[in-house]
Structure 1
Amino acid sequence: MMAVDEVTARAPGATKETLEDYTLRFAPRTYRRWTPAVVGASALGGIAYMADFSIGAGIGLTHGTPNALLAIGVAAVIIFLTGFPLAYYAARYNIDLDLITRGSGFGYYGSVVTSVIFASFTFIFFALEGSIMAQGLKYALSLPLWLGYLVSTLAIIPLVIYGMKTLAKLQSWTNPLWLLLMVGPLAFLIVKDPDSVRRWLAHEGTSGSGLSTAAIMLGAGVCLSLMGQIGEQVDYLRFMPPRTAENRRAWWTSMIMAGPGWVVFGAVKQAIGVFMAVYILDAVGTAAAVEPIEQFTGVFTELMPPWLVVPLALVLVVLSQVKINVTNAYSGSLAWTNSFTRVTKRYPGRLVFVLVNLAIALILMEADMFSFLNSILSFYSNCAMAWVVTVATDIAINKFVLGLSPKQPEFRRGMLYAVNPVGVVSFLASSLLSISVYFGLFGETLRPYSPLVAVGIAVVLTPSLAIVTRGRFYLRRTDDGIAEPLLDEDGNPSGTHYDCVVCGQRYERPDMTASATGGTVCSLCLSTDREGLHVLPAR
Structure 2
Amino acid sequence: MSVEPQLTAPDSGRQLPPAGPSAEQAVADHTVADHAAAGHLRPDQAVTETLEDYTLRFAPRSYRRWTPMVVATTALGGIAYMADFSIGAGIGLTHGTGNALAAILVAAVVIFVTGFPLAYYGARYNIDLDLITRGSGFGYYGSVLTSVIFASFTFIFFALEGSIMAQGLKLGLGLPLWLGYLVSTFLVIPLVIYGMKALSKLQVWTTPVWLLLMVGPLLYLVATDPGTVNRFLSYAGAGGHGGVNTASVLLGAGVCLSLIAQIGEQIDYLRFMPPKTEANKRTWWTAVVMAGPGWVVLGALKQAIGLFLAVYVLAEVGPAAATEPIQQFKGAFAAMMPPWLVIPLAVVLVVISQIKINVTNAYSGSLAWTNSFTRVTKRYPGRMVFVLANLAFALILMEADMFSFLNGILGFYSNCAIAWVVTVATDIMVNKYLLKLSPHAPEFRRGMLYPVNPVGVVAFVAASGLSIAMYFHALGDALQPYSPVAAALIAFVLTPLVAVVTKGRYYLRRTGDGIDEPLLDADGNPRATTYTCHVCRQEFERPDVAACRTHDAVVCSLCLSTDRIGDHVLPAEPAAP
TM-score by length of 2: 0.91
Residue 565 of structure 2 is matched in structure 1 by 531
Q: Which of the numbers 371, 378, 382 marks the counterpart of 1:345? A: 378
Separation in 1, partners of 2:156, 2:92: 22
SS in 2 for 1:41: helix
Matched, 1:385 2:418: yes
Q: Deviations over 1:272-296 (max 9, x none)?
A: 0110000000010000000000000
> Which residues of 2 match residues 455-534 of structure 1 at below 5 A?
455-518=488-551, 519-534=553-568
1:415-461: CA deviation from partner (whole Å, max 9, x where unpaired) = 00000000001000000000001011111111001000000000000
Q: State the SS of the aligned residue for 2:222.
A: helix
Tell me, yes or no, if structure 1 residue 122 matches structure 2 residue 154. Answer: yes
Match of 2:230 in 1: 198
Cα deviation, 1:493-527, whole Å, max 9, x if unaligned, reads: 00000010111111000000000112100000000
1:81 to 113, 117, 123: 113
- Aligned ranges 1:12-91 → 2 under 5 Å: 12=36, 13-15=40-42, 16-17=45-46, 18-19=48-49, 20-91=52-123
1:320 and 2:353 matched: yes
Distance 1:211 1:9, change over 3 A: farther
Aligned match of 2:14: none
Question: Which of 414, 429, 454 lines up with 2:447 in the alignment?
Answer: 414
Task: Give me the whole-angstrom Cα distance separating, in 2, the residues matched to 1:268 and 1:514.
Answer: 49
Aligned to 2:296: 263
Percent identical residues: 74
Instruction: Give the SS at the match of 2:540.
Output: strand
Q: Distance in 2 between matches of 1:405 and 1:208?
A: 50
Deviations 1:378-419 (A, max 9, x none): 000000000000000000000011000001110000000000
Query: Aligned to 2:190, which of 152, 158, 168?
Result: 158
Q: Whole-Å Cα distance in 2 between the matches of residues 348 and 9 of structure 1?
A: 18
Provide, for residues 453-473 of structure 1, a one-character-per-residue CA deviation record: whole Å limited to 9, x for no partner. 000000000000000000000
Q: Which residue of 2 aligns with 1:375?
A: 408
2:278 is the counterpart of 1:241: no
Cα separation, 2, equivalents of 1:407 and 1:433: 30
Say yes or no: does 1:171 pair with 2:203: yes
Q: Which amino acid letter does the alignment assign opposite residue 187 of structure 2? A: A
Matches within 5 A, 1:84-233: 84-209=116-241, 210-233=243-266
1:477 offset after TM fit, Å?
Answer: 0.2
Distance 1:357 1:366 in 2: 15
Out of 302, 305, 318, the residue aligned to residue 338 of structure 2 is 305
Q: Write out per-residue CA displacement over residues 99-130 of structure 1, whole angstroms, 9 at most, x where no aligned residue.
A: 00000000000000100000000000000000
The one-letter amino acid of 2:482's match is Y
Q: CA deviation at 1:23?
A: 1.5
Q: 2: distance between equivalents of 1:503 and 1:317?
A: 44
- Residues 1:445 and 2:472 aligned together: no
Unaligned runs of 5+ residues in structure 2 are 1-30
In the alignment, the residues of structure 2 paired with residue 211 and residue 219 of structure 1 have an alpha-carbon distance, to the nearest angstrom, of: 12
- Does the 8 A contact of 2:154 with 2:362 survive in 1? yes
Cα separation, 1, equivalents of 2:41 and 2:127: 21
Q: 2: distance between equivalents of 1:249 and 1:211?
A: 40
2:433 and 2:541 map into 1 onto residues whose CA distance is: 27
CA 1:9 to 1:292, structure 2 compared with 1: closer, same or farther past 3 Å?
A: farther
Matched letter for residue 381 of structure 2: P
SS at match of 2:53: coil
Whether the 8 Å contact between 2:162 and 2:398 is mirrored in structure 1 is yes
Q: Matched residue of 1:208: which SS?
A: coil
Task: Give the Cα–Cα distance (whole angstroms) in 2 for the partners of residues 473 and 208 of structure 1.
Answer: 53
Tell me the distance in 1 between the aligned counterparts of 2:416 and 2:360: 21
1:134-178 C-alpha deviation (Å, 9 max, x unpaired): 000001111000000000000000000000000000000000000
SS in 1 for 2:413: helix
Taking only aligned residues, the RMSD between alpha carbons, in angstroms, comes to 1.0
Structure 1 residues not aligned, in runs of 5+: 1-7
Checking the alignment, whether the CA contact within 8 Å between 2:32 and 2:535 is kept in structure 1 is no
Deviation per residue, 1:10-55 (Å, 9 max, x gap): 6632241434221111000100000000000000000000000000
Give SS of 1:285's match.
Answer: helix
For residue 195 of structure 1, report the CA deviation from its aligned partner. 1.1
Match of 2:311 among 262, 265, 278: 278
Matched with 1:397 is: 430
Paired residues of 2:86 and 2:324 also in contact (CA < 8 A)? yes
State the aligned residue count: 532
**Cα separation, 2, equivalents of 1:368 and 1:60:** 22
Shift of the 206–349 alpha-carbon distance from structure 1 to 2, 3 Å rule, reads same
Checking the alignment, whether the CA contact within 8 Å between 2:419 and 2:487 is kept in structure 1 is yes
Output the TM-score relative to the length of structure 1. 0.98
Equivalents in 2 of 1:246, 1:271: separation in Å? 38
Deviation at 1:188, TM superposition (A): 1.2
Larger Rg: 2
1:272 and 1:445 mapped to 2: Cα distance? 31
What is the CA distance between 1:302 and its match in structure 2? Answer: 0.2
Question: Residue 9 of structure 1: CA displacement?
Answer: 8.4
Give the distance between the partners of 1:9 and 1:453, measured in 2 at CA: 50
Deviation at 1:207, TM superposition (A): 2.1
SS class of match (1:444) = coil
2:115, 2:292 within 8 Å by CA — same for their partners in 1? yes
**Shift in Å at residue 208 of structure 1?**
2.5
1:256-285, Cα deviation, whole Å (9 max, x unpaired): 010000000000000001100000000100
Letter in 2 for 1:271: A
